[in-house]
Chains A and B, each alone.
Chain A
C-alpha cells in the first residue's frame, strides 16, 4: 500500500503572524520533530512577552473596524476560508500526520471537523441575530443585541493541532472579535498553514494573529487587560489551576476543556462485532491521545462465557492493529507524540502491574511497519482486573491502554463511572433502549455516547464536559460559542 508524499520536505521556519505580517521572533527556537521518523521538520519560536503584547495590541487596533464590518461581509471571508481549506484539504491533513504522528484517516477526519466549524460560523448573520419583545410595558419595547467583546486568546493543545483552535476561532471572528492563537509549540505547522490561508481569505490585518510559544505567551494572554476571554484545551491541572483561576482573577471569560478518564460500559446484549470495532477507535484511535478516548471498559453481567468471548475478540483485534508512520495508508495507529509522553505511558503500565492488574496484551513489544525508530512507538496494551480507584483505573494516561473492569449491574457501572473525578465522554454499548436511557439519564458526563465510542459533538453542538473535565459555563462550537464570544446588550426603549 502506498506511503503518501510528505508535504513538508524541508525544515520549516515558523514565524508569528501579527497584524497581517509574518514576523520572526526574538525568542528561543526549538525543533519540531516528526515522531514517526525522528526527522526535524520545523523550527518554532518560544515567543517573548513583547511579542504577545504586540499581537494583542494589533488585535485591539483592528477590532473597531472589524466590529463595524457587517456580519454578511465577515461571513463572506469565512466562506472564502472554507473554500481554501477544501482546496488544501489533503495538504493540511498530511501536515498534521507529519507533525503529530496520527494516521492519515485520523488527520483527514480532523481536517473535516475543523472545516465544519468554519461552515457553521458562515451562518453568523442568522446565528448572531438578537431578540425583540414589543410592549413589555405600555409603549415600551425591549430587545437584546449580541455584541462582540474585543480580543480573545485561543490556546491549542498538541493532540489535535489543527481542529481544536477551529472550535473557537471561526466563531470569535464571525461575531466581530479579533483573535490571538497560541498553537502547541510541539505541533505548530498546521496552524501556521491555517493562518496563511486565513490571510489569503482576506481577513484584515490584526483580526487573526498567531503567536507561537509556551508559558510566557499564555501568561501574557492571561494578564493582558485587553484580552476579553480565553479558550483553552489541555490538562486539568493547567486548565483548572492556571487558566480558569487566572481568568477569574482578571475578569475574563473562559472555556477550559481539560482532562478525562472515560468509561465505556458494555452490556451483555451489545452487538459484539460493532462494539469491538468501536472500541478499537475509541481506545486506540489517535494512539489514545484524545480527551474523548475511552480508558476503562466496564463489562456488565455475570455471564463468564460472554465475558471470555468478548475479551478474546478485543484482544484478537487489538493484537492485529497495524502500527507505523501515519502516511502509510495501511497503518491504523501512529506513534505517541514524543518520547517523554511515551515514557509516561510506560510508567502507567508498570503501575498497573504493581497494582496487581493482569496484562493481557503488552504494548511495550511493538512491531512497526517500515524502517522507523521505536522511539515514540508503543502498541496497544490491555489490562484485566483493574480497580476503578487505582491509579491505573482513575488517572488520565493519554496513551493506548485499555483497562478492563467487570461489574454485575448497569447501576454499578454508572456508579464507578460517576465516582471518577472526570466527566468528559462516557459511553454505553447496548441493544436495550431502557438501559441506554438509564445510562444517559444518570451518567455524569458532558458528552455521552450510545453505541458510539468517541462522543465528539459535531460543529453545531457544543463540546461539553463536566466535573474536572471542564471549567467554565459556555462551551466551544455552535450556538454556545456564539454566546461565549458576545455580550448580551439589552435595550429598553420608550418614546414620549
Chain B
C-alpha cells in the first residue's frame, strides 16, 4: 500500500520503531554478552519516536503538502523481527543488521520525500537514518 499522508508515514515509523524495540528487548534477554547494546537500541528506538513526533506535531501545518508529500510503499519496509530462540548470536546480529538496514532505507526515503514539509521533519528523518548507519557499523564489529 502506498502511503501519501504525513500522518500515515509517522504512524508507520512509530510501528517500525516499536517492533524494532521489542525485537532488541528480546535479544537483550537472550544474549547477556550483548545485553547492554541491545537494551540501548531498544531505548534509542523509543527516543527516535519522541524525536519525530516532536518534529511532526511541532511543524504540521495545513498550508504545506502534509497530505501529498509522500509515496512510501509500506511493503518495502517490512522487518523480520523474529528473535526466535534457535538463533545463535551471529545469526541474531545479522538479523539486527537487516532491521537497521531497512530502517535506514525507510528514513532516507522519507527524508527525501518530505523536503516540501518544513525543515524539521526531513532533518529528523535524516538524523535517524544516520544513527542507523552507526548502529550497522557497531553490529558488524560486534560479530563474534
Binding site for B on A (CB under 8 A): 1-2, 89, 103-106, 108-110, 112-113, 274, 277-278, 280-281, 285-286, 292, 317, 322, 329-333, 452, 454-456
Contacts and interface: CB of A to CB of B under 8 A. Distances in A.
Interface stretch (B20-28, B60-68, B91-99, B136-144): B60-68
A105 B6 contact: yes
9 contacts: A2-B11, A103-B7, A104-B5, A105-B66, A277-B68, A281-B68, A333-B67, A454-B63, A456-B61
Secondary structure class of chain B's binding surface, majority of residues: loop
Interface in B1-25: 1, 3-8, 11
Nearest to B68: A280
B5 A332 contact: yes
B67 A1 contact: no
Interface in B50-83: 57-69
Contacts of B3: 1, 330
B53 to A, nearest CB: 10
B62 A454 contact: yes
Nearest to A292: B63
Contacts of A454: 62-64
Closest 3 CB pairs of A and B: A109-B62, A105-B66, A454-B63
A268 B128 CA distance: 37
Interface of B: 1, 3-8, 11, 57-69, 116
B138 to A, nearest CB: 33
B11 A1 contact: yes
B59 A112 contact: yes
A285 B7 CA distance: 15
A329 B11 contact: yes
A333 B4 CA distance: 11
A1 B6 CA distance: 12
Given A1-B8, A330-B5, A109 B66 contact: yes
A285 B63 CA distance: 9
A278 B65 contact: yes
A379 B60 CA distance: 24
Contact of B63 (A103, A317, A333, A456): A456
B110 to A, nearest CB: 15
A50 B68 CA distance: 47
A108 B60 contact: yes
B5 A285 contact: no
Contacts of A455: 63
Contacts of B116: 274, 277-278
Contacts of A332: 4-5, 67-68
A277 B66 CA distance: 10
Given A106-B67, A332-B68, A285 B8 contact: no
A103 B11 contact: no
Contact of A281 (B1, B11, B60, B67): B67
Contacts of B66: 105-106, 108-109, 281
Which among B4, B58, B69, B116 has the greatest number of chain A C-beta atoms within 10 A? B4
Given A104-B5, A106-B66, A332-B67, 18 more contacts: A2-B11, A103-B7, A105-B7, A105-B60, A109-B61, A112-B57, A112-B58, A277-B69, A280-B68, A281-B64, A281-B66, A281-B67, A285-B62, A285-B67, A329-B7, A330-B5, A330-B8, A332-B4
A109 B59 CA distance: 8
Nearest to B61: A109
Contact of B5 (A331, A452, A456): A331
Nearest to B57: A89
A324 to B, nearest CB: 11
B11 A322 contact: no
Nearest to A105: B66
Nearest to B8: A329
Contacts of A103: 5, 7, 67
A379 to B, nearest CB: 15
A333 B5 CA distance: 10
A110 B62 contact: yes
Given A103-B67, A281-B68, A1 B1 contact: yes
A245 to B, nearest CB: 31
Contacts of B11: 1-2, 329
Contacts of A333: 67
A317 B2 CA distance: 13
B67 A113 contact: no
A212 to B, nearest CB: 25
Of B4, B59, B63, most A-chain CB atoms within 10 Å: B63
Contacts of A108: 7, 57, 60, 66
A104 B7 contact: yes
Nearest to A111: B60
Contact of B67 (A2, A105, A110, A292): A105
B60 A109 contact: yes
B63 A105 contact: no
